[in-house]
Structure 1
């Protein structure tokens, strides 16, 4: 895969140096911004592949930066923040962030998140080029046109809700989807606070697609936040 161009938005010099040194050592191209205004300008003028964004910026909250970028771009945004509460993660993800990394973080974890994002970008580009109506991830296959799901070529019988959940996750491989985002897309705002029902449907879906539902390989739970579909290595 080609290396990404990454916009690093961080006002703490020591953290910025750690990130940029890591990126340089692994041959990533990068731009930097120390405040929200500059970040928005750099994102619009240079169109980076990924944004690494701190929330605690000197001129505006990082959530506002996410919202402004999302008004015109789907650039993957990975938040890197000292804010560790679930509510902070949910606010950032609901605003449009793709992932959330809590400070202090390891270099290895940062690189892993970038690899996940890179695979997601590659998959999206491949799907756009092929205009395929079939999604494949490991042994899982979704034929969107036919409305059918297969595991190891064996067709599964999913309920309409289970199928909609699976499609929503598959269209966002590698991205953490919050409970609110999922429920608004599946049921509408009236189900916004019914997380218990979502968990039940997710549990039944896992029983059908996962070889070991208690140790899932496709759908990852982010406790208190939401769910993510993982890219299964071939």
Structure 2
């Protein structure tokens, strides 16, 4: 007696479903093969704008001071500041170098140092002057790029607090970055101290440097968003 065997097969997905899946995958993948689909969002930090700006300003100052501290050590090793007993401490040198590379005038006995810079020969250099520029550009860019700033007011608060905190820290160096040469202490004449200017020009020089390069970095970061918004 013969029996009929019935075989059942699992049904695969319909062709229409496969087409819909392929189309959705193609939309999520860009023309260059990347995964930057229209629904992919950029990860940004949600924090108060003024706090983010203050942290960025302190971080920018720390990076600038650390790099110039290393540069001061290299200059000492190269004999740029004379003998071992005839130079300021490395911390004072770094403070003077930081201020000088922001355009602050360095004075010796109340008069602006000119020419060979006397005791602090090589105080400023082309390499050192680029350090604040590069750090401030990066600080402004990263602040706008990775912190969620939804309005112009929030952007202004973030950038303003960055610039303000940076100016306060840099100008604060002018009160502690002071050095009196040993020869001046051994004579009966008036002590000639090497220090940075503490007048309004110091704030203007540091503020101009910070405002210009932080704004440029922030503008570069915000440019893609502005172009996308107009499209």
- Structure with bigger helix share is 2
More relative contact order, 1 or 2 (CA 8 Å, 6+ apart): 2
Larger radius of gyration: 2
Tell me which interval the TM-score lies in, with the shorter structure as reference length.
under 0.3
TM-score when normalising by structure 1: 0.22
TM-score when normalising by structure 2: 0.22
- Structure with bigger strand share is 1
